[in-house]
Amino acid sequence: MGEIITFQRPDRQTCSGYYAEPADQSNAPGVVVIQEWWGLNDQIKGVANQLVEQGYRVLVPDLYRGKVTLEEAEAAHLMNELDFGDAATQDIRGAIQYLQQNSPKVAVLGFCMGGALTVLAAVHVPEADVAISWYGVPPAEAADTRTISIPFQGHFAQQDSFFPPEQVDDLEARLKEGNVNHELYRYQAQHAFGNENNDSYDPEATKLAWERSLNFLSQHAK
């Protein structure tokens, strides 16, 4: 359905990504999808294609520059090597700016590591119109989430050892403190419950989270 394209970052460097759009809708609303720690793999491309079927133009920036893995240890290494600030303010911002050339609004939607980057983008990227994080939160010192000025939605797992419920509670408290327009949902599921390739995949939680995500996008990104 899609293709690999190259787009420009704000610092004039380039980044590649997976791009797809609905037939004959080159000016449809946009969504920048942010990968999990595995890289730009077929699973995250499938997520992008799902959104295209819902009428969105989608761009998934390749944050690992072509590297993809199936091994947790290597995924952790790749994630730890990633400059999160650069990824959010350059790769992701550049992807948003690319879609904005033809899309009236552009949302950011990320999973796991990408969920944390989505929060960073909501704070640090002024062009973002909507942000949806699935089970990902950055350290509190990395982003003052009280300053988010766009609609924000989060989907979190109650049995999550990567982003534990206490961290989500802290996020919620700061969003409330900042009077951020937000929705937070918690699921009786494990981390990465929305990835059909994981042992922790929970189809019921995934279905509900997708319904809520698409409704939120329909309200705020179209």
Give the pLDDT score at 1. Answer: 79
Q: The pTM is what?
A: 0.98
Give the pLDDT score at 131. Answer: 98
Give the pLDDT score at 205. Answer: 98
Give the pLDDT score at 53. Answer: 97
The low-confidence residues of the chain, meaning pLDDT below 70, are none
pLDDT in tens, 13-49: 999 999 999 998 889 999 999 999 999 999 999 999 9
Give the pLDDT score at 15. Answer: 98
Give the pLDDT score at 25. Answer: 85
Give the whole-angstrom CA distance, residue 45 versus residue 47: 5
Give the pLDDT score at 22. Answer: 96
